């Protein structure tokens, strides 16, 4: 079965609203419309607007909260948030952030459920950078998770072969 992970397109960043409510920016909508996804794919994304809106130009998108970004509290809106996130995906635990194993477990459960529901069709998952990086690290063994995460684009798309333990940018 074909498995494609899509990191969401660029959202409208708003310091006055939680990141899990941010919709796509006009640039993000244009980039989402330009994605070429497999015909007849089973589309599922996190419940965050930026994730499901990234896949929506390709058709009906199911939503699953288990595909959401790493849960975290106390992250600064500005300042060193990128450094904190890079350290997190590289293995640093923060007391108010979702434990790595918990994020991987919930994402794993969602992937397994939706693979079964896809019935052999290509499975396209719209998700977020940190959880995508954690899951790929756990499942295929990314050598440098922080470097992988920092190189992700808005949007970005990877074809994943779990048997071969590869993720190839599409």
Q: Where are the beta strands (DSSP E) in 9-165?
A: 42-45, 62-63, 123-127, 156-161
Q: List C-alpha distances in Å: 142 to 8, 63, 70, 163.
A: 20, 27, 18, 14
Q: Could you check whether the bond before residue 155 is cis, i.e. omega within 30 degrees of 0?
A: yes
- Residue-number span of the structural domain to which 156 is assigned: 3-73+87-169
| pLDDT for residue 78 | 78
pLDDT in tens, 52-83: 999 999 999 999 999 999 999 887 777 789 99
> Is the residue at 81 inside a domain?
no
Give the residue from 166, 34, 35, 64 showing the smallest Cα distance to 125. Answer: 64
- Total domains in the fold of the chain: 1
Flag whether 109 is in a domain. Answer: yes
The pLDDT of residue 128: 98
pLDDT at position 76 is 77
> Considering the domain boundaries, does residue 117 fall inside one?
yes
Q: Based on C-alpha coordinates, what's the Rg of the chain?
A: 15
Q: What is the CATH number of the domain that holds 58?
A: 3.40.50.1240
Q: Tell me the pLDDT tens digit for each residue of 85-106.
A: 999 999 999 999 999 999 999 9
Please report whether residue 69 resides in a domain: yes
Residue 62 has a pLDDT of: 98
| Residue 50 counted as domain residue | yes
């Amino acid at each position: 079965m074909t498995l494609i992970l899509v990191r969401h397109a660029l959202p409208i960043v708003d310091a006055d609203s939680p990141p899990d409510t941010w919709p796509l920016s006009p640039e993000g909508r244009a980039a989402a419309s330009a994605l070429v996804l497999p015909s007849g794919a089973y589309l599922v994304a996190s419940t965050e607007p930026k994730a499901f809106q990234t896949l929506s130009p390709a058709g009906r998108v199911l939503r699953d909260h288990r595909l959401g970004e790493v849960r975290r509290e106390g992250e600064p809106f500005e300042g060193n948030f990128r450094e904190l996130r890079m350290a997190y995906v590289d293995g640093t635990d923060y007391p108010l952030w979702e434990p790595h194993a918990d994020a991987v477990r919930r994402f794993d459960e969602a992937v397994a459920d939706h693979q079964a529901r896809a019935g052999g069709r290509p499975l396209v998952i719209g998700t977020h950078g940190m959880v995508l990086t954690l899951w790929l690290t756990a499942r295929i063994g990314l050598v440098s998770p922080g470097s992988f995460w920092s190189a992700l684009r808005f949007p970005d798309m990877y074809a994943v072969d779990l048997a071969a333990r590869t993720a190839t940018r599409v």
